[in-house]
Amino acid sequence: MNDSDINQQELEEQISKTLEGMSNDEIREVFIESLILERFGDDEEIDEDVFNDLKEDLNDRLDTKINDMLVEALPEEKMAEFDGLVAENASSDAVRAMLFENGVDVDKLVTDAMKEFREEYLAGATNNEGE
């Protein structure tokens, strides 16, 4: 194990401790705000309206990413059942249980979606800097 592996492991442990006791909504808000800060930096002043618009846009885009990955992970023959739950505004617990029963690890999927979303967002920001 090299130093970067240790640092990554320590970082993940710190993050886990920080997130303990936080709701999913709070975790998501911290994630989105940290993305914006990572993209624009702490030094750059961002207008509050622009910041709120960015948060809303990133939340919508993250929702799309997670939903796309859920649809990909769910067996095709279960899509009608999933769509029915969504159409009837079933509780998140009911949707989560249905997904779990069909082999979808929702926590891992959401974590993977957030990691991919972060990479894509920051890569896009890097690619746009030269324009």
Is the distance from CB of 38 to CB of 15 less than 8 angstroms? Answer: no
Burial class from Cβ neighbours inside 10 Å (0-12, 13-18, 19+) for residue 61 reads middle
Nearest to 66 by CA among 22, 32, 33: 32
If you compute the radius of gyration of the chain from its CA atoms, what whole number of angstroms results? 17
- Under the phi-then-psi rule, with left for phi > 0, alpha for psi from -120 to 50, and beta for the rest, what region is 21? left
Angstrom distance (rounded) from CA 39 to CA 118: 10
pLDDT at 2 over 50: no
pLDDT at 20 over 60: yes
- Lowest-confidence range among 19-23, 69-73, 99-103? 19-23
pLDDT at 1: 47
Angstrom distance (rounded) from CA 62 to CA 38: 16
- Lowest-confidence range among 18-22, 25-29, 49-53, 117-121? 18-22
- pTM value is 0.75
Q: What is the mean pLDDT of residues 21-44?
A: 83
pLDDT at 92: 85
> Which tens digits make up the pLDDT trace of 78-96?
999 999 998 999 998 898 8
> Which tens digits make up the pLDDT trace of 94-117?
988 999 999 999 989 998 999 999
pLDDT at 26: 87
- Lowest-confidence range among 44-53, 98-107, 120-129? 120-129
pLDDT at 43: 61
